[in-house]
């Protein structure tokens, strides 16, 4: 709130983003989280695995929020000329734009009665478009955060995104391994079934 443009407000001038970010990142957190997201390019299903680990006592109810974001969303932007690399075909392309929520609107209460480590899985079907903007899987991101109630955010994380053309069940039981990630010139793949003698592999641009 010390950087808000108006007293008690939430909007912040872009000139204060760096300072505010440094303040927030220096604050202690009693909970850690990590996320993986898998996009089945054949079905459009997104599967998100979340792990939350408490290193201390929350002292209040905490909730998990998992959100879907999209890059390259065209729209108006005041001061767009200051960021010319984001202007394409005369339109400003917004990045990391919130598009939908995978948890309940007010977050899902985290139950720690069975220990400090909590694991949750969410699924989401990508639509053809959201409010007229076509969905390109490679432009989608998943992020999450933990808040005390629905106000004070304690910590957050970006999901590691992976993509494939196999069903979710098949992927979870016969996970392929690709490395190095990111790759340049050479990409290696481990196949779980060692009896496979011949296989066909296709690489697609995410668009």
Look at residue 172 in the predicted model and tell me its pLDDT. 46
Beta strands in the chain (DSSP E): 31-40, 45-54, 62-70, 73-75, 87-88, 91-94, 97-101, 108-109, 117-125, 129-130, 133-134, 140-148, 152-164, 177-184, 186-190
CB atoms inside a 10 Å sphere around CB 126: 20
Q: What is the C-alpha to C-alpha distance for residues 171 and 42, in angstroms, rounded to an integer?
A: 12
DSSP letters, 163-175, are EESS-HHHHHHS-
Do residues 100 and 126 make contact, with C-beta atoms less than 8 angstroms apart? no
Residue 171 exposed, middle or buried by CB count within 10 Å (0-12, 13-18, 19+): middle
Model pLDDT, residue 68: 98
- The pLDDT assigned to 196 comes to 62
pLDDT tens digits for 28-80?
899 999 999 999 888 899 999 999 999 998 888 999 999 999 999 999 998 89
Predicted local distance difference test score (pLDDT) of residue 16: 86
């Amino acid at each position: 709130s010390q950087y808000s443009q108006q007293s008690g407000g939430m909007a912040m001038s872009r000139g204060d983003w760096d300072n505010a970010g440094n303040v927030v990142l220096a604050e202690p957190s009693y909970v850690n989280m990590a996320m993986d997201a898998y996009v089945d390019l054949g079905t459009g299903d997104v599967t998100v695995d979340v792990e939350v680990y408490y290193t201390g006592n929350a002292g209040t109810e905490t909730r998990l929020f998992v959100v879907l974001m999209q890059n390259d969303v065209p729209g108006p932007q005041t001061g767009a000329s200051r960021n010319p690399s984001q202007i394409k075909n005369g339109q400003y392309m917004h990045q990391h734009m919130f598009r939908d929520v995978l948890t309940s609107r007010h977050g899902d209460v985290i139950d720690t009665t069975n220990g400090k480590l909590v694991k949750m899985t969410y699924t989401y079907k990508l639509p053809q478009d959201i409010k007229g903007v076509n969905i390109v899987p490679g432009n989608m991101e998943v992020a999450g955060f933990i808040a005390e109630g629905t106000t004070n955010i304690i910590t957050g994380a970006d999901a590691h995104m992976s993509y494939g053309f196999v069903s979710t069940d098949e992927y979870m039981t016969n996970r392929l391994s690709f490395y190095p990630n990111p790759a340049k010139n050479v990409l290696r793949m481990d196949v779980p079934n060692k009896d496979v003698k011949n296989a066909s592999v296709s690489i697609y641009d995410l668009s």
